[in-house]
Structure formats: structure tokens, C-alpha cells
Structure 1
């Protein structure tokens, strides 16, 4: 017999897994690591479902950010520049997408995570700082450094990055 808690968790996973997977891919740059990251975060969420059921998405996303950081600290993984893309409709300009993937792969894990949270997840500097356990000034400087590095690594991305971002 399935309990209400189990049904609620299953409904959350079914409804949010695709969005969580996209964020995990942006964090890791690797489809397989992204799947592992989502599964690890969902496992944590399942263990604490009774406590977090009112706001599970925030809990799972924060778990993904922290798990990803833990993985970087334990081992250094060389990211591949070329990856398969499931949906060409997401990025009609394949060359631009590949340039972005390659440039993101050259950022430090912290820089990549800050950019994903700030510009993909659309979090404020303060929200990003809270999610990562950093100061707001660290988020600001990391964002500035990451964008400068992207401009250097891939000048063709200037239209995405902006001149003054």
C-alpha cells in the first residue's frame, strides 16, 4: 500500500525531474554525472520527505549544488568539450552551443555553479550566496571573473554574455 508521503514524493519526482536534470547538466557538463547528481539529491529528499514536503524543490536544488561541490573536492574530473544534445530545438545554433559548452568546461567548478545559479536559475546574488554558503561579495567577484574568462575563452559568445555583464 502506497502512503500519502510516497505518493507525494512520486508526484514531485514525475513533475520536476526534467527541470532538475537540465540544471544538473548545466552544473556538471556531463549527462551521466547529471543523472547521478539528480539521483543523489532525490535520495536525500526521499529520506527527509516528511520534513521537506512543503518546499521540496528548494531542498533538492540545494542538495544538488552542495553534492556537486563535494564531488569536485573529492576528485578532479576532466570534462569533455563535446557532448550530445538531446533536443536541437533547445539550441538552434549548434556552433554557438558547442562554444558555450566548451567555454563553460574551462571554468572552475565554483565559477560554473555561480553562473548557472545566477543566469540559468535566475537567482539573485543574495539567493546564490545562501544556496552555496558564500558571501554576496564572493558571488559578485566570482560572477565577474567567470564572465571575463568566458569573454576571453569564447569571444563569439559576446552577444550572450553582454559587454557590461
Structure 2
């Protein structure tokens, strides 16, 4: 009995390692887009990915034909949404637009806009599935995605740098 459990445990570990080898890079990139962190300095994205993969490993035996990538992506989205809720006070998720970071054009988006845009455009998740995952009406997902796309394509201008005046001597 123990030999059988050990064999199954080893098989489970090998299967999960193969999954992580194939999916972790793309999931990390999605997490980095969500957090709007620079790719070379993304501790929040790495924590999100680690938690999502840990959850996926915990339910690995119960997947029964489900796509583990879908489950890991779902966990990534849910954990990001939960974190944004706590950090920004809700999924309307207002935050100071243009906060200082180097997250590219996505830094101009609210966390909710980033989440929907990443799920829809980067991950290719359908509108209906995105709406169901986030518990939002389909029309709301459409509107947020359109607004996020417009902002990403035409980001607000950065304020002009201030020039220090030199006192005449």
C-alpha cells in the first residue's frame, strides 16, 4: 500500500513539474502584467504565481480532465482581485492613476481594468468567462475592456518636468 502511494506521489510530482515547466513563464508574465511591475523586478507577481501554483498543486488530483492552466490562471486572477480589493479598497479599484512605477502603459489602468484587459487580450479568455470569473455583468466587462484598451493605446500624457529656477546673482 505504501509503495503504491509513494509511486502515485512521485507520478503526481512529475506531472506537476512538467506542467510548471511549460506554464510558469506565461503565468508569470500574466502576473507581471497584472501587477504592472517591471519584468526584472516583480516580487508581487512572483508571490501571486507561487500562491496560484501552490493551490493548483493542492487540487492536482481532483482536476479530473480539467485544464490545470485554466485553474492556475483563475487562481492568479482571483488572488490578484482579492489583493487589489484589500490594497485599493474595492474592485472599482480606484487608485492614483499614473502612480510612479515602470509598469509600461498598463500602469495607467486601474487594477480592474488591468485584470480584464490581461484576461481578454493576453490570455484570450472570452467575455462570458471573464464576466463569470469576476462576478460582473457581461456588458460591464465589455465597457471596462473597451475603456482599458483605449487608455492603453492612448495613455495620458506625463506631466512636463519641472525646471528649477536659478536665482540671479
Short-chain TM bin: 0.7 to 0.9
In structure 1, what is the equivalent of residue 124 of structure 2?
122
Q: Which has the larger radius of gyration?
A: 2
In structure 2, what is the equivalent of residue 93 of structure 1?
none
Change (3 A) 1:15 1:116: same
Extract unaligned runs of 5+ from structure 2: 1-5, 89-94, 158-169
- TM-score, normalising length: structure 2: 0.72
Q: What per-residue deviation string (whole Å, max 9, x for no partner) do you get for residues 75-115 of structure 1?
A: 248864325xxxxxxxxxxxxxxxxx1x3212111111111
Do the aligned residues in 1 keep the contact of 2:36 with 2:102 (CA within 8 Å)? Answer: no
In structure 1, what is the equivalent of residue 77 of structure 2?
65
In structure 2, what is the equivalent of residue 52 of structure 1?
63
In structure 1, what is the equivalent of residue 91 of structure 2?
none
Aligned length: 137
- TM-score, normalising length: structure 1: 0.73
Change (3 A) 1:53 1:32: farther
Higher helix share: 1
Change (3 A) 1:109 1:16: same
Extract unaligned runs of 5+ from structure 1: 84-100, 156-165
In structure 2, what is the equivalent of residue 82 of structure 1?
102
1:73 alignment partner, SS class: helix
In structure 2, what is the equivalent of residue 160 of structure 1?
none
Would you say 1:36 and 2:47 are equivalent positions?
yes
